[in-house]
Each structure stands twice: as C-alpha cells, then as structure tokens.
Chain A
Amino acid sequence: GENVEQHPSTLSVQEGDSAVIKCTYSDSASNYFPWYKQELGKRPQLIIDIRSNVGEKKDQRIAVTLNKTAKHFSLHITETQPEDSAVYFCAASGSQGGSEKLVFGKGTKLTVNP
C-alpha cells in the first residue's frame, strides 16, 4: 500500500521567511496530493492540492510542487506570518479507478516566530 514520508517533523522560522515541507510517496498510481493544516482538536483544513497532471500550483503565498518521477512533492509558504503556525500534513491518494484511500504523512509542526 501507499506510504507517505514527511520532513521535517518540526520547523521554526522567523516571520517573513519562507517555509518548505517535503513529502515522498511510494505508490506510483497515486495521483492526488493534498496539503492540510490542522489545529488542535479540529478537522484537517485543505490549504492546497495538486493532481499528477501538473507540476506546480500556486495560491497567493502557498505553492505546491510535484515531481512524479522522483515521487515527491513539496509545500512552499512564502512571507510567513505567526498565524501560519500550525501542524501541516501532506497526503496522497489514487484515482476513482484505483485505491481512493487517503494516506497521511506524519506531520510538520511549523512555528513562525514574530
């Protein structure tokens, strides 16, 4: 089955700096890669996602890149703000025809210092 590795487990940056979180996946059939932000005791909140037919997607300060050959994808947050502090999870899943199970990475605790 799918296995998703996420690094780093903790990340501390100064306000205004960029933050990068990286993930690798094992199943070449996976084709959907979302990123979630989760606050304590709450449901995961989708912040950006990418499908395997594109290599990069950007939404304001957040961007995701995907390298299908290497089977890794990354989250980039620019101009970080204290409110970006949270736990971030990457995940991977297959298509309707394959496994739809969404498998999560172990998470990254991001701290943005004012």
Chain B
Amino acid sequence: GAVVSQHPSWVICKSGTSVKIECRSLDFQATTMFWYRQFPKQSLMLMATSNEGSKATYEQGVEKDKFLINHASLTLSTLTVTSAHPEDSSFYICSARKGGYTFGSGTRLTVV
C-alpha cells in the first residue's frame, strides 16, 4: 500500500529557531502533499497544499513566510517553521492522495 514517511516524529527547539519537517512518499509519486496542524483536542486543520514544481497554496490565515513549503521532487515535500514561537507548538502531519489519503506519522513540535 501507499506509504508516507514523516520525520522527525518529535522535535524540541528554542524560540526563534527554524525547524524542518520532511515527508516522503515511499512507493508512489505524490504531485501534491497536504500539510495539517493539529492542536490538542482539536481537529486537523489544513495549512497548505504543496505542489511539485510550483508554489504551495496556503489556506486563509496561514502565514506563508512563516511556514515555508517546498515540494522539489515527486517524492519529497518539506515544511519549515521559521522563527518558531511557543504558540507554534503543535502536531504537524502531512498527507498525500493515492486512491484514498495516506498520512505521515506526524511530528510533535515543542518550542521552548
């Protein structure tokens, strides 16, 4: 079946630093990758859609300069949280569509 590998699974960083999260489609080509953020006891909120070879599409209210998305190949999409602050602490998860939707395992980001 379709597998999306997401790394790291958890990361702790200091305020003001940047963190990169990677999602790789292991056995299929993903021209599109969806990035979600999930705060405790809340739903998955779509942040942006990354498109291979073109600019990402951001949802309303998501700062594109803060959440940098790169989809440089058909198997790799990255999300970089720049100048992270404690309020960016959350569970970030990616997803790609192959038939249904396949999710990465998620990244727990804690900004201290």
Whether, in the assembled complex, A73 has its beta carbon less than 8 Å from a beta carbon of chain B, the answer is no
Q: Which of B15-41 contact A (CB under 8 A)?
A: 32, 34
Residues of B contacting A100 in the complex (Cβ-Cβ under 8 angstroms): 32, 49, 97
Contact call B46/A106, Cβ cutoff below 8 A? no
- Indicate if the CB atoms of B46 and A102 lie closer than 8 Å: yes
Binding site for A on B (CB under 8 A): 32, 34, 42-46, 49, 91, 93, 95, 97, 100-101, 103-106, 108
Least CB distance from A44 to B in Å reads: 6
Most buried by B among A34, A104, A105: A104
Query: Which A48-77 residues sit within 8 Å CB-CB of chain B?
Result: 49
Q: Are B93 and A43 within 8 A (Cβ)? A: yes
In the complex, A107 Cα to B13 Cα: how many Å?
29
Q: Known: A43-B93, A49-B100. Is A89-B43 also a contact (CB below 8 A)?
A: yes
Find the B residue at minimum CB distance from A100: B97
Known contacts A101-B34, A102-B95; A44/B43 CB under 8 A: no
Give the total number of A-B pairs whose CB atoms are below 8 A apart: 42
Q: What number of A residues sit within 8 Å (CB to CB) of B?
A: 18
Pairs across A and B, CB under 8 Å, 13 listed = A34-B101, A41-B106, A42-B105, A43-B93, A43-B105, A93-B101, A100-B97, A101-B46, A101-B49, A103-B46, A105-B43, A106-B42, A106-B43
A46 to B93, CA, bound (A): 15
Residues from chain B with a CB closer than 8 A to the CB of A32 are 100
Query: Are A104 and B100 touching (Cβ within 8 A)?
Result: no
Q: Is the beta-carbon distance between A44 and B44 smaller than 8 angstroms? A: yes
Shortest CB-to-CB span from B24 to chain A, Å, is 15
A81 to chain B minimum Cβ distance, whole angstroms, is 23
Residues of B within 8 A of A106 (CB): 42-43
Told that A43-B103, A104-B46, A107-B43 touch, could you supply 7 new A-B pairs with CB distance under 8 A? A34-B101, A43-B93, A100-B49, A100-B97, A101-B34, A102-B34, A102-B97
Restricting to A75-114, which residues have a CB under 8 Å from any CB of B?
89, 93, 100-107
Q: What residues on A are CB-neighbors of B105 within 8 Å?
A: 42-43
Nearest 6 CB-CB pairs, A to B? Answer: A43-B103, A106-B43, A104-B43, A104-B44, A107-B43, A102-B101
